[in-house]
Amino acid sequence: MPHDRTEPHRSGGTGSAGRPEPLPPPDAGHSTLAWPADAPAHPSPVIAEDCWFLSGPTASGKSSLAVRMARLLGAEIVSVDSMAVYRGLDVGTAKPSPEDRERVPHHLIDVVDPGQGYSVARWLAAAADAVADCRRRGRTILFVGGTPLYLRALRDGLAPLPEADAEFRRTLVAEAQAHGSGLLHRRLADVDPPAAARIHPHDLKRIVRGLEVAHATGKPLSEAFAARPHPLFEPRLMILDLSRATLHERIDRRVERMFAGGLVEETQAALARPGGIGPGAAQAAGYAETIDLIAGRIDLAEAIRRTQRRTRQLAKRQLTWLRSFRNAVWIAA
């Protein structure tokens, strides 16, 4: 059975008919919002009749089902996972197994080193290239993953926004340091009420970006992110659906297997490489905790508990956002 679509949200709310209002994706505050001027316009030009989409919360079983679906569809898989792009981070990101990647070609996995940054704009451009490659060979495309920011970019495309203005940012940050981020948040509410409503008053990074866009363009940031969904997206989106108890059990067991299966050694090897583990890669649940474990700040049991808790929180945020797709097909897992 599908999850209750009217479950209260931690941010946002429900419409008059009891339906969830669209929410910003859970990882929106962690990816660059400086889209290049040549970013694709709305709606996404990538989607066509040969595209299918499979999503769901972390640990819901997407990878194994995706391989079976791809073989039935004659498809290749394009990963929609912001952590799978990092080379050498395999255990902690639960990448598809080498056997599954041998059975069905996968794209956008192992793209950059873990010390490098990777933006949604860069991912969308790479996804467009992967789709074009599949089409040249007459293959169907199956997008698989649970990174909502990537899914939204895929569905809506990206609006061109100005690059960062370093001097303007320094001025705003100095004001926040002197008077508090609440002052800037109130200023954002004056120029862009929808953005201010969804950005926490202490989220200085996103407040500054909102003010920066309004300053540079004369238009609010919220206009750029107004949904212009591709009409083919939701009817072709399948979302794995399972009970909270089952999902939490799967998450807890997966985390235990990660630590037993080499996560500490993998983290040590990544830290020893040039660039180490950058802030983007460290967002994957398990790596920050393992770094604390290696440094002696916490013990193994605490590292496991923290990773389980953070992964459950991630799954909750993913589900909250996925429930905004009202015409998607929910599949019992």
Given the candidates 1.10.630.10, 3.30.390.50, 1.10.20.140, 3.40.710.10, the CATH classification of the domain at 163-224 is: 1.10.20.140
pTM of the model: 0.73
Give the chain's radius of gyration (CA, Å). 20
> Class of the 1-159+225-333 domain?
alpha beta
Who contacts 280 (Cβ-Cβ below 8 Å, separation ≥6)?
30, 31, 82, 86, 116, 117, 118
Who contacts 20 (Cβ-Cβ below 8 Å, separation ≥6)?
5, 6, 7, 9, 12, 14, 320, 323, 324
Residue-level pLDDT, tens digit, the chain, 333 residues = 333 333 323 333 333 333 333 333 333 333 333 333 344 444 566 899 999 999 999 999 999 999 999 999 999 999 999 999 999 999 999 999 999 999 999 999 999 999 998 988 899 999 999 999 999 999 999 999 999 889 988 888 776 666 778 899 899 999 999 999 999 999 999 999 988 998 989 889 889 989 988 888 887 877 766 556 687 888 999 999 999 999 999 999 999 999 999 999 999 999 999 999 998 899 899 999 999 999 999 999 999 999 999 999 999 999 998 998 889 999 998
Where do the H-state alpha helices sit in 199-262?
204-217, 221-224, 244-260
The token pair that represents 223 in the structure block: 């206009």
Taking residue 279's Cβ as centre, other Cβ atoms within 10 Å add up to 10
Domain spans of the chain, in order of start: 1-159+225-333, 163-224
The token pair that represents 41 in the structure block: 């316009």
